[in-house]
Chains A and B, each alone.
Chain A
Amino acid sequence: MSTTTTGPSRAYWTSFAIVVAALAASPLVLPEFWQRFATEILIWGLFAMSSDLLIGYTGMVSFGHSVFFGLGMYGSAAALLIVKPPNLWIAILVGVVAAAVVAMFVAFFSTRLRDIYFSITTLVFSQIFYVIIFTWTDVTGGENGLTFRQPPFGITGLYTIPFTQNGLHWFVLGTVTVSYLVLRRITQSPFGTVLQSIRENEPRTRAIGYHVERYKIVSVMLSGCFAGLAGVLYAIQNKFAAPDFVLFLVSGEAVIFNVMGGIGTLVGPVVGAAFYLLMKEVFSRVFYEYYLIPVGVIFTLMVIFVPQGLLGAWKRALNR
């Protein structure tokens, strides 16, 4: 993007500020159940945004994002169980680094392939890690997972306060907002532009002289970092790490969030996550544990009839 084009419009930043303010105020007005719900939407929204970097911008559909999420969970769990006293920042650091390392490992193999082959490879990798985590009971707790105590907020040794429900919400909101701005910056940077040109025309990008594989590996790694961060936040909110979150269904949910909200918009996947979680909540009151039947029907119909997703129409405005 050259310097002559105008940056994001005032309308964009105004609506951005309104949305963030509304989300910040939400725990003060919502009943208790929905407070928790709002926090979860933000966490899953971050997870969805991370996979949008791959799906929407680089054009690679990852069906293995649950691994990065799960590694974030288990990484932070390990840090919280080993480090005394439990330290929030170390947990975040360990979780994100664990996710990034695994993402790099997965990317090294899977980025050699394109399209469906990439999806299948990531799916297979996520299943490998699922089996390892599920069967390596001594370290990961196997089926039961790991439980730990919530770390306090603040700087250890100087000043710490335990998380309240609202405090956690604002902490998550802050993290997700910053992540959004960073991801947005990434997609608009020269690096992000190369990713989008890989999506549009890979052979040409290669012909121009870009090292496509290297760009892909870095994009998977960045995506993995943010997915790991989402995993850390989820672990801290729920005080456990469980193998269920490494299962391919979670990766599938990330893809569903993206398709429902609109790929290539960053905000869309968050909206998709909110939409999905709301549907899940509503349908599970009517259909109990079979809520995935109506959700699956709606998802399939959206793939056929609304492939650009809920926010697809505003794709241009959101990427300015």
Chain B
Amino acid sequence: MIPVDQILVQIVNGLVNGMILALVASGLTLIFGIMDIVNFAHGDLFMLGAYFGTTAFLTTGNFWLALIASVLAMALLGAVLQATALRPLLGRDPLTTILATFGLSLIIQNYALWQYGPVPRRILEPVTGHFKLFYIEYPWYRLVIAFMSAAIIGGLYLFMKYGKHGIWIRATTQDRFMAEAMGIPVPWVHTVVFAIGAAMAAAAGVLFGPTVGVNHAMGFDFTLRAFVVVVVGGMGNLGGSILASIFISLLESLATIWVSPAQAVIVSFVALIITLLVRPTGLFVPTPK
């Protein structure tokens, strides 16, 4: 018999992890929706963002400054990567982009290993208090993560809805050629989207950093999970990928009651496979006509 409080604690955990994953996956979804690019390097942008965070944290000593610095640096890097490696691939088979981003992933991962070494780095959490949640002392910081992620995603939503670039992005997602004909600078919009995606991944990385050691291999785990999320949520569907992130993370958290965390990943894979069999368009999208 599983005690109820253990399940509730895992639900809180799942929600917190889900918000981080949503932050990573919504960038991936945005990039896929607009450019048909499956960004294999997305998890590595997340990882590199976390590393930039550790560097900035060492220099400034302030977590929030480090967060901002890392986000800005990664947005710049994302823009550069898009302009150099991905812009030439526009209009080619989407599979080519998965290859190119796989190459980028190799470069980023090994650059991080070379630059920061194999020993995990730590960022100190800005909020150190705990509160009593049933049988454990739960850190406030984890709730801060969830709140910050929600705030950033909310900001993205407002930006997409009212910002000039947001409207451009939505127009380009709907019809690239028509948008271009209406005078929207489509190549620039692509660069901006990739920069936003990279920045959100970096934000997630820095926020997530204090809960684990930052290491060069942490990216792939998130790439994989973000892939699962975008398929379960429906490719290119922002709302769906946020719901799917929370759904997947809840599943995994609850599974850790019975199995080890390494094996809990399989639960989300199984969720993916069932989704593909039952509803290949995604669980959280309206039925296509």
Q: Do A and B come from one complex?
A: yes
Kindly specify which of B59-67, B206-214, B223-231 makes contact with the partner chain: B223-231
Distance A132 CA – B262 CA, assembled complex (angstroms): 9
Binary B-proximity of A108-119 (CB < 8 A = 1, otherwise 0): 010011011101
- The answer to whether A296 and B263 touch across the interface, beta carbons within 8 angstroms, is no
Distance A128 CA – B20 CA, assembled complex (angstroms): 23
Given known A-B contacts A252-B102, A304-B85, A296 and B224 have beta carbons under 8 A apart: no
B residues within 8 A CB of A286?
none
Interface size class of B (residues with CB under 8 A): 35 or more
Distance A35 CA – B99 CA, assembled complex (angstroms): 31
Interface size on A, residues (CB 8 A): 36
B4 on the interface (CB 8 Å rule)?
no
Distance A124 CA – B260 CA, assembled complex (angstroms): 19
- The answer to whether B95 and A119 touch across the interface, beta carbons within 8 angstroms, is yes
Given known A-B contacts A120-B38, A120-B227, A128-B266, A300 and B95 have beta carbons under 8 A apart: no
Given known A-B contacts A290-B110, A290-B113, A296-B107, A127 and B102 have beta carbons under 8 A apart: no
B residues within 8 A CB of A127?
224, 265, 269
Contact of A293 among B89, B110, B263, B280 (CB under 8 A): B110
Given known A-B contacts A113-B276, A124-B228, A304-B88, A292 and B262 have beta carbons under 8 A apart: no
B residues within 8 A CB of A131?
262-263, 265-266
Chain A, residue nearest B87 (CB): A304
State how many angstroms separate the Cβ of B156 from the closest Cβ of chain A. Answer: 23
- The answer to whether B277 and A292 touch across the interface, beta carbons within 8 angstroms, is no
Distance A128 CA – B227 CA, assembled complex (angstroms): 14
Distance A252 CA – B260 CA, assembled complex (angstroms): 27
Chain A, residue nearest B88 (CB): A304
A39 on the interface (CB 8 Å rule)?
no
Binary A-proximity of B257-284 (CB < 8 A = 1, otherwise 0): 0001011011001001100110010000
- The answer to whether A128 and B95 touch across the interface, beta carbons within 8 angstroms, is no
Chain B, residue nearest A117 (CB): B231
A residues within 8 A CB of B89?
303-304
A residues within 8 A CB of B83?
none
B residues within 8 A CB of A226?
none
- The answer to whether A61 and B104 touch across the interface, beta carbons within 8 angstroms, is no
- The answer to whether A293 and B111 touch across the interface, beta carbons within 8 angstroms, is yes
B residues within 8 A CB of A252?
102, 106
| Majority DSSP secondary structure for residues of B touching A | helix
Distance A63 CA – B110 CA, assembled complex (angstroms): 20
B163 on the interface (CB 8 Å rule)?
no
B residues within 8 A CB of A112?
276-277, 280
Interface hub of B89, B92, B98, B272 (most chain A Cβ within 10 A): B98
A121 on the interface (CB 8 Å rule)?
yes
- The answer to whether A259 and B99 touch across the interface, beta carbons within 8 angstroms, is yes
State how many angstroms separate the Cβ of A201 from the closest Cβ of chain B. Answer: 14
Distance A290 CA – B277 CA, assembled complex (angstroms): 40
B residues within 8 A CB of A134?
262
Chain A, residue nearest B220 (CB): A248
B154 on the interface (CB 8 Å rule)?
no
- The answer to whether B280 and A113 touch across the interface, beta carbons within 8 angstroms, is yes
| Majority DSSP secondary structure for residues of A touching B | helix
Chain B, residue nearest A108 (CB): B277
B100 on the interface (CB 8 Å rule)?
yes
- The answer to whether A116 and B38 touch across the interface, beta carbons within 8 angstroms, is yes
- The answer to whether A300 and B228 touch across the interface, beta carbons within 8 angstroms, is no
Chain A, residue nearest B273 (CB): A109
B residues within 8 A CB of A293?
106-107, 110-111, 114
B155 on the interface (CB 8 Å rule)?
no
B55 on the interface (CB 8 Å rule)?
no
Contact of B100 among A125, A135, A300 (CB under 8 A): A300
Distance A299 CA – B100 CA, assembled complex (angstroms): 8
Binary B-proximity of A84-120 (CB < 8 A = 1, otherwise 0): 0000000000000000000000000100110111011
A53 on the interface (CB 8 Å rule)?
no
Distance A54 CA – B37 CA, assembled complex (angstroms): 21
B residues within 8 A CB of A248?
220
Binary A-proximity of B74-89 (CB < 8 A = 1, otherwise 0): 0000000000010011
A312 on the interface (CB 8 Å rule)?
no
B103 on the interface (CB 8 Å rule)?
yes
- The answer to whether A296 and B110 touch across the interface, beta carbons within 8 angstroms, is yes
- The answer to whether A299 and B106 touch across the interface, beta carbons within 8 angstroms, is yes
- The answer to whether B95 and A61 touch across the interface, beta carbons within 8 angstroms, is yes
Distance A124 CA – B229 CA, assembled complex (angstroms): 12
Contact of B114 among A290, A295, A300, A307 (CB under 8 A): A290
Nearest 10 A/B pairs, CB to CB: A300-B103, A296-B106, A296-B107, A299-B103, A292-B110, A290-B114, A303-B100, A293-B110, A303-B99, A116-B38
A-B contact pairs, 17 of them (CB 8 A): A61-B98, A115-B94, A116-B94, A120-B38, A120-B227, A121-B273, A124-B224, A131-B262, A248-B220, A259-B99, A289-B113, A292-B106, A293-B111, A296-B106, A297-B107, A304-B89, A307-B92
* B interface with A by C-beta (< 8 Å): 38, 85, 88-89, 92, 94-96, 98-100, 102-107, 109-111, 113-114, 220, 224, 227-228, 231, 235, 260, 262-263, 265-266, 269, 272-273, 276-277, 280
7 A-B pairs besides A113-B280, A131-B262, A292-B107 with CB distance below 8 A are A109-B276, A119-B98, A120-B227, A124-B269, A128-B266, A132-B266, A304-B88
